Chains A and B, each alone.
Chain A
Amino acid sequence: MSETKSQVNKNVDIKKSPSKKDSGSTELETVAIRFAGDSGDGMQLTGTQFTQTSAIIGNDIATFPDFPAEIRAPAGSLPGVSGFQINFSSQDIRTPGDVPNVLVAMNPAALKVHLKDLEKSGILIVNTDAFNEVNFKKAGYESNPLEDGSLAPYRVYDIPITKLNEEALKDLPLSKKEQDRSKNFFALGLMYWLYDRTMEPTLRWIEQKFAKTPSIAEANRKSLKAGYHYGETAEIFTTHYHVPEARLNPGLYRQITGNQAVALGLITGAHLAGKTLFYGSYPITPASDILHELSMYKNFDVRTFQAEDEIAAIGSAIGASFGGHLGITGTSGPGLALKSEALGLAVMAELPLVVIDVQRAGPSTGMPTKTEQADLLQALFGRPSESPVAVIAPGTPGECFRFAIEALRIATKYMCPVILLTDGALANGAEPWMIPSVESLPKFEIKHLVDAKNFQPYQRDEKTLARPWVMPGTKGLEHRIGGLEKQDITGNVSYDPLNHEKMVRLRAQKIERIAQDIPETETFGPSSGKVLVLGWGSTYGAITSAVEQCQKEGKAVSSIHLRYLNPLPRDLGKFFSRFDKILIPEMNMGQLRMLLRAKYLVDAQGLNKVQGQPLKIQEVKEGIEKLL
């Protein structure tokens, strides 16, 4: 559960428990719906609207958009399928759901790609109009799956969505192609009826979004309503379902994705520090949305710079930091690799710098739109020589806000680069977020040295080991810094062997000192037992839910979620001896496991999944059970 939701460890039964609410609707606790269609079918929009409405009516939500890197792969083809899963609940949920209960398939390719995930006896809604010979061929079906009995395990609803939608729009002066463009709203309306949601928020959204093109607004409105009323009157569905409000902590909420939360966190951090925010970035999936978000908010003293490449992006951020402001750059794994030499410069120059790495599946171009957490070792060690930086990683989309602020706080207090590791799942996934009061957030003071007396560029603060941050323009403090090894205290160029070793150790000690400034380790569950599950990053939801289920079954399982990866919390080591076994689930080949084994000589086991897909609760639970 996100820190912004509930801190209480509630007894939640993830499985749905149907109970009749009234004659017309059946009450459900949790439902996961997956919308799937061509990448041009508007599935991301449909999912986002369903999410927004579900959040507004008070459900807890978690989402997982899953789309191809190709903007418009050939229509009807398997690579062109775009999906969006939303899990909504009256309970506290932490993941987009292991297994969708409902699949909306707009064409045969979408069915082919996603059917294997649908729960047995789950609801399958298909747009029969797209089920024709041409599309079967494109999707690799030899026979019509609607007729060959292969869908028998599911509750199939054949609905001619395209034709019904065309019929609804026949009075509007639109071409057939234009009519078809709004058929996703028909599907959305149908799902609104089936799950008892109001159309109001989406109608409002259509009004605003298409204010300048009233004919499109009208088409979308009509399609949405036609879908809704079709569900109500067509008597295909024997019942519809109601998912009551979730019991979140009292407060004002919105939904937020990880990338939005990072952008808002950076703006808030700059505000708390009283500094100009400079964001230099080069477009890269899945980090570009941070640049897009920040570009909209220039009236918050935000300066965004779309650089000519990844190196220029980090270089410009270092320049802004040298100038005394908040230099930030954002990227994904391949971009972080290109930035590594400049990161080393920031280590040597001891300037504050925040680098956001929204991890994606690799190596090389890999699977740009798919998630992974395999940049941990790159973040820690992917630079020449000994060049330590701080590394932190939020566990949920909402947490990205606080950790963006935290990255700025650490970078400016310790005069060092901080890498903020998120990933594709956090970046694009959404959850309800309790809106913090700006006034309640602690300000962090930034001091620039202005006193020329006894000034030395590499004189260190006793507590933090940070060197002074001097703004160019300060009279009497003119000095030179650079990438050549520094003489201790003076910062002059030095090739002295003993000085080099001293400086290497000082730079490492400075990063280690950050540990004095971070929270103590918390365990989810008792602080001793049979299995300790250790995780970091976006696997938080799956791990915590799996551990919670085990605990409810009376198993002695606890978890620790690391949000500070360098330095690690000072008290972490003591927990390893308190459990019989340690399990580390990761979406990589065991990077955190390698680190902890090396550092603590602990025989930790791995649970590793590298499929570009998030870990499932069930997968983690099975991994735990194997160790019990």
Chain B
Amino acid sequence: MSTALTKDDFVSDQEVRWCPGCGDYAILAAVQRLMPTLDIPRENIVFISGIGCSSRFPYYMNTYGFHTIHGRAMTIATGLKCTRPELSVWVVTGDGDGLSIGGNHFIHTLRRNVDINVLLFNNRIYGLTKGQYSPTSEMGKKTKSTPLGSIEQPINALSLAMASEATFIARSVDVHTPHLIETLRKATSHKGVSFVEVYQNCNIFNDGAFKQITERNVRDERLLFLEHGKPMLFGPGLKKGICIKDNRPEVVTLGENGITEKDILIHDETSLNLNITYLLTRMDHPEFPVPMGVFRNITRPTYEELMIGQVESLVAQKGKGDLQKLLKGSETWEVK
């Protein structure tokens, strides 16, 4: 059935109201292109969002959708998935919605491993409220609410996802459609919570936030595309690579100082060595190329599986509940 669907089948009748030039358009298009290829009936797909520019996303998807309240999308997705595990549930959030007001739910939804896909559009700014700094804004960032510059250490979404025991952690970027689609495809095929940070440009309040790494002419040099089982090579002609030295990542060049390909770190998204995965999440421009792709992809029972498993094992052990017996309780007396 779903093979007959096309991108257009996932376009809703609502007029898209993001600012012209917003990175969200590219992400929406990528998701709409991905959907018909997933072999999931359209009626089984649900998009849930909180509040913010990114959270308008469900209105534009011709699937089931719920635009909820600020920061709480993951709680609603959790309740939905626990009662309707057969649905494909997507949460669309942003750096303010997901990491600031919704920070608590972010941690707990990830650690529970509810089988949902979480897309966090990170533009390092509050857009819908017109330009205040966000939890991912850089130190010193001048915004409407920080005219003298932000005095806050920004949070690293992927490191936080690691600390929250997420089983699937990935990053992509709005302007690299093929990579974005492939990353989201991997997220959907992962059973358990899938967290994908998408670097996204806000051309009105934080234009060029990721320009220095995503521009076509610097992309190869400044992005590291992670591929499972392959050496971490980057740069024009894949001449540069990442080694670990003294528990720190180091950029090396093939052929220099006797470095060969076998010295380069092999990416293992299933690695139980959390230190390396964590170091990858900390690599940032300009010291390092910024890693893109799947950082972590491990298997653990999902929350709803365990929840329903407890119900089923109790039914197996005690039989389906006898309501009359339950109401009766253990001690009764008869009045004649």
Residues of A within 8 A of B (CB): 52, 55-58, 201, 245, 248-256, 264, 267-268, 271, 276, 278, 280, 297-303, 305, 307-309, 311-325, 327, 341-342, 344-345, 349, 435-438, 471-484, 492-493
Task: Using known A-B contacts A298-B311, A301-B311, A472-B44, determine if residue A315 contacts B76 with beta carbons closer than 8 Å.
Answer: yes
Can you name the residue of chain A whose Cβ is closest to the Cβ of B48?
Answer: A319
CA of A268 to CA of B315, assembled, Å:
17
- Contact check, A472 vs B335: say whether CB atoms are below 8 A apart: no
- Contact check, A436 vs B59: say whether CB atoms are below 8 A apart: no
Which residues of B have CB within 8 Å of A319?
A: 48, 75-83
- Which of A301, A476, A482 has a CB less than 8 Å from the CB of B58? A482
A15 to chain B, nearest CB (A): 24
B262 at interface (Cβ–Cβ under 8 A)? no
Can you name the residue of chain A whose Cβ is closest to the Cβ of B77?
Answer: A319
Which residues of A have CB within 8 Å of B66?
A: 322, 349, 480-482
- Contact check, A438 vs B79: say whether CB atoms are below 8 A apart: no
Which residues of A have CB within 8 Å of B76?
A: 315-316, 318-319, 322
- Contact check, B332 vs A254: say whether CB atoms are below 8 A apart: yes
Task: Using known A-B contacts A309-B104, A312-B108, A482-B59, determine if residue A320 contacts B67 with beta carbons closer than 8 Å.
Answer: no
Which residues of B have CB within 8 Å of A55?
A: 331, 333
Task: Using known A-B contacts A267-B326, A474-B43, determine if residue A308 contacts B105 with beta carbons closer than 8 Å.
Answer: yes
Which residues of B have CB within 8 Å of A254?
A: 328-329, 331-333
Which residues of A have CB within 8 Å of B74?
A: 315
- Which of B12, B75, B324, B329 has a CB less than 8 Å from the CB of A480? B12
- Contact check, B78 vs A345: say whether CB atoms are below 8 A apart: no
Count CB-based A-B contacts (< 8 Å). 206
- Contact check, A308 vs B104: say whether CB atoms are below 8 A apart: yes
Most chain B CB neighbours (cut-off 10 Å) among A248, A276, A300, A315: A315
- Contact check, B83 vs A253: say whether CB atoms are below 8 A apart: no
- Contact check, A483 vs B69: say whether CB atoms are below 8 A apart: yes
Other A-B pairs, 17, CB within 8 Å; known A299-B315, A299-B317? A56-B331, A249-B335, A252-B333, A254-B328, A256-B329, A298-B310, A312-B105, A327-B79, A342-B72, A435-B332, A436-B327, A472-B46, A473-B44, A479-B64, A480-B67, A482-B59, A492-B14
- Which of A323, A478, A484 has a CB less than 8 Å from the CB of B87? A323
Can you name the residue of chain A whose Cβ is closest to the Cβ of B1?
Answer: A475
Which residues of A have CB within 8 Å of B62?
A: 478
- Contact check, B79 vs A315: say whether CB atoms are below 8 A apart: yes
Can you name the residue of chain A whose Cβ is closest to the Cβ of B314?
Answer: A299
Task: Using known A-B contacts A248-B335, A435-B327, determine if residue A481 contacts B65 with beta carbons closer than 8 Å.
Answer: yes
Identify 10 residue pairs between A and B in the complex whose beta-carbon atoms are under 8 Å apart, listed by A's number: A201-B331, A253-B335, A267-B326, A298-B314, A299-B319, A303-B83, A312-B78, A318-B76, A478-B42, A482-B68
CA of A298 to CA of B333, assembled, Å:
27
Which residues of B have CB within 8 Å of A479?
A: 64-65
- Contact check, B67 vs A484: say whether CB atoms are below 8 A apart: yes
- Which of A252, A297, A315 has a CB less than 8 Å from the CB of B326? A297
- Which of B69, B84, B308, B319 has a CB less than 8 Å from the CB of A323? B84
Which residues of A have CB within 8 Å of B63?
A: 478
B321 at interface (Cβ–Cβ under 8 A)? yes
- Contact check, A305 vs B332: say whether CB atoms are below 8 A apart: no
Q: List 5 A-B pairs, minimum CB-CB distance, nearest first.
A: A319-B79, A315-B75, A482-B67, A316-B79, A300-B321
- Contact check, B336 vs A320: say whether CB atoms are below 8 A apart: no
- Contact check, A253 vs B332: say whether CB atoms are below 8 A apart: yes
B320 at interface (Cβ–Cβ under 8 A)? yes
CA of A491 to CA of B330, assembled, Å:
50
Which residues of B have CB within 8 Å of A252?
A: 328, 332-335
A195 to chain B, nearest CB (A): 17
Which residues of B have CB within 8 Å of A308?
A: 104-105, 107-108
- Contact check, B335 vs A299: say whether CB atoms are below 8 A apart: no
- Contact check, B42 vs A297: say whether CB atoms are below 8 A apart: no
CA of A353 to CA of B61, assembled, Å:
26
- Which of B72, B307, B314, B336 has a CB less than 8 Å from the CB of A315? B72
Residues of B within 8 A of A (CB): 12, 14, 41-44, 46, 48, 51, 58-59, 61-69, 72, 74-84, 86-87, 104-105, 107-108, 307-308, 310-311, 314-315, 317-321, 323-324, 326-329, 331-336
Which residues of B have CB within 8 Å of A268?
A: 323, 327
Can you name the residue of chain B whose Cβ is closest to the Cβ of A314?
Answer: B75
CA of A252 to CA of B324, assembled, Å:
12
- Contact check, A305 vs B86: say whether CB atoms are below 8 A apart: no
CA of A342 to CA of B75, assembled, Å:
11
B107 to chain A, nearest CB (A): 8
- Contact check, A299 vs B82: say whether CB atoms are below 8 A apart: no
Task: Using known A-B contacts A254-B329, A480-B59, determine if residue A276 contacts B83 with beta carbons closer than 8 Å.
Answer: yes
CA of A320 to CA of B327, assembled, Å:
25
CA of A276 to CA of B321, assembled, Å:
13
- Which of A345, A435, A475, A492 has a CB less than 8 Å from the CB of B328? A435
Which residues of A have CB within 8 Å of B64?
A: 472-473, 478-480
Which residues of B have CB within 8 Å of A253?
A: 332-335
Most chain A CB neighbours (cut-off 10 Å) among B42, B65, B79, B307: B79
- Contact check, B335 vs A250: say whether CB atoms are below 8 A apart: yes
Which residues of B have CB within 8 Å of A436?
A: 327
Can you name the residue of chain A whose Cβ is closest to the Cβ of B318?
Answer: A299
- Contact check, A264 vs B335: say whether CB atoms are below 8 A apart: no
Can you name the residue of chain A whose Cβ is closest to the Cβ of B60?
Answer: A480
- Which of A278, A473, A478 has a CB less than 8 Å from the CB of B82? A278
Which residues of A have CB within 8 Å of B310?
A: 298
- Contact check, B43 vs A483: say whether CB atoms are below 8 A apart: no
Can you name the residue of chain B whose Cβ is closest to the Cβ of A276?
Answer: B83
A329 to chain B, nearest CB (A): 10
Which residues of A have CB within 8 Å of B326?
A: 264, 267, 297, 300
CA of A249 to CA of B62, assembled, Å:
58
Most chain B CB neighbours (cut-off 10 Å) among A252, A302, A436: A252
CA of A58 to CA of B12, assembled, Å:
66
- Contact check, A342 vs B69: say whether CB atoms are below 8 A apart: yes
CA of A475 to CA of B69, assembled, Å:
26
Which residues of B have CB within 8 Å of A349?
A: 66
CA of A257 to CA of B331, assembled, Å:
14
B32 to chain A, nearest CB (A): 14
Task: Using known A-B contacts A312-B104, A312-B108, determine if residue A317 contacts B79 with beta carbons closer than 8 Å.
Answer: yes
Can you name the residue of chain A whose Cβ is closest to the Cβ of B111?
Answer: A308
CA of A463 to CA of B61, assembled, Å:
33
- Contact check, A278 vs B59: say whether CB atoms are below 8 A apart: no
CA of A323 to CA of B63, assembled, Å:
14
Which residues of A have CB within 8 Å of B87?
A: 323, 472-473
- Contact check, A250 vs B104: say whether CB atoms are below 8 A apart: no
Task: Using known A-B contacts A254-B328, A303-B307, determine if residue A473 contacts B69 with beta carbons closer than 8 Å.
Answer: no
Which residues of B have CB within 8 Å of A342?
A: 69, 72
- Which of A56, A311, A320, A341 has a CB less than 8 Å from the CB of B83? A320
- Contact check, B323 vs A267: say whether CB atoms are below 8 A apart: yes
Which residues of B have CB within 8 Å of A481?
A: 65-67
- Which of A58, A280, A341, A472 has a CB less than 8 Å from the CB of B69? A341
- Which of A314, A317, A473 has a CB less than 8 Å from the CB of B84? A473
Which residues of A have CB within 8 Å of B107?
A: 308
CA of A317 to CA of B82, assembled, Å:
10
Most chain B CB neighbours (cut-off 10 Å) among A271, A341, A344, A483: A483
- Which of A302, A311, A478, A493 has a CB less than 8 Å from the CB of B75? A311
CA of A610 to CA of B150, assembled, Å:
48
Which residues of A have CB within 8 Å of B104?
A: 308-309, 312
CA of A259 to CA of B104, assembled, Å:
29
Can you name the residue of chain B whose Cβ is closest to the Cβ of A255?
Answer: B331
- Contact check, B67 vs A312: say whether CB atoms are below 8 A apart: no
CA of A252 to CA of B69, assembled, Å:
48
A209 to chain B, nearest CB (A): 11
B213 to chain A, nearest CB (A): 34
Task: Using known A-B contacts A323-B80, A479-B65, A481-B67, determine if residue A297 contacts B321 with beta carbons closer than 8 Å.
Answer: yes
- Contact check, A316 vs B331: say whether CB atoms are below 8 A apart: no
CA of A303 to CA of B311, assembled, Å:
8
CA of A480 to CA of B42, assembled, Å:
13
Can you name the residue of chain A whose Cβ is closest to the Cβ of B107?
Answer: A308
